[in-house]
């Protein structure tokens, strides 16, 4: 889960008069100054989370008080996208990047290192995850 902060509204969107937006991400963010943010969506897209299935032009419904975030795409289309999805190649072959990729759990699992969990079987972040739809 990399960190992204202070993501500006793109210039071409600003040129159309948009001055606010909602940011939806499976990443961390150190601050936001451009509207509502939905962060730490889990499981993240790298391990087959729902955000991996989102395409340009897709519409979301966000109910902030009720908390659901719903992708307004048919189940059949999501099944098609899921069947076509391929896990990206690991970005880091060594050092902290590899350690993070292989051993840090998802945001809904507290982003903890599996080797620090007492009595837990070692698990790898690259395992097949439960899919959120």
Res. 129 pLDDT band, cuts 50 70 90: very low
Residues 31 and 61 in one domain: yes
Residues 82 and 95 in one domain: no
Q: What is the CATH number of the domain that holds 26?
A: 3.50.30.80
Question: What is the model's pLDDT at position 119?
Answer: 60
Cβ atoms of residues 29 and 39 within 8 Å: yes
Which residue has 């076509």 as its token pair?
A: 84
**pLDDT above 60 for 124:** no
Residue 100, H or E segment = helix 95-103
**pLDDT above 90 for 106:** no
Question: For residue 13, what are the domain limits?
Answer: 1-87
Residues 1 and 52 in one domain: yes
75-94 pLDDT per residue, tens: 999 999 999 999 888 888 88
Q: What is the mean pLDDT of residues 62-82?
A: 91
Catalytic residues: 30
């Amino acid at each position: 889960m990399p960190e992204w902060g202070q993501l500006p509204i793109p210039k071409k969107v600003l040129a159309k008069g948009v001055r606010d937006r909602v940011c939806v991400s499976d990443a961390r963010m150190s601050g936001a100054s451009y509207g509502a943010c939905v962060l730490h969506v889990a499981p993240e897209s790298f391990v087959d989370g729902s955000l991996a299935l989102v395409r340009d032009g897709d519409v979301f419904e966000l109910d902030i008080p009720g908390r659901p975030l719903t992708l307004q795409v048919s189940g059949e289309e999501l099944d098609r996208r899921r069947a076509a999805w391929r896990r990206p190649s690991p970005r880091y072959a060594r050092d902290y990047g590899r350690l993070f990729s292989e051993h840090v759990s998802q945001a809904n699992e507290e982003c903890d290192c599996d080797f620090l969990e007492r009595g837990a079987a070692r698990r790898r972040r690259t395992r097949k995850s439960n899919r959120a739809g």
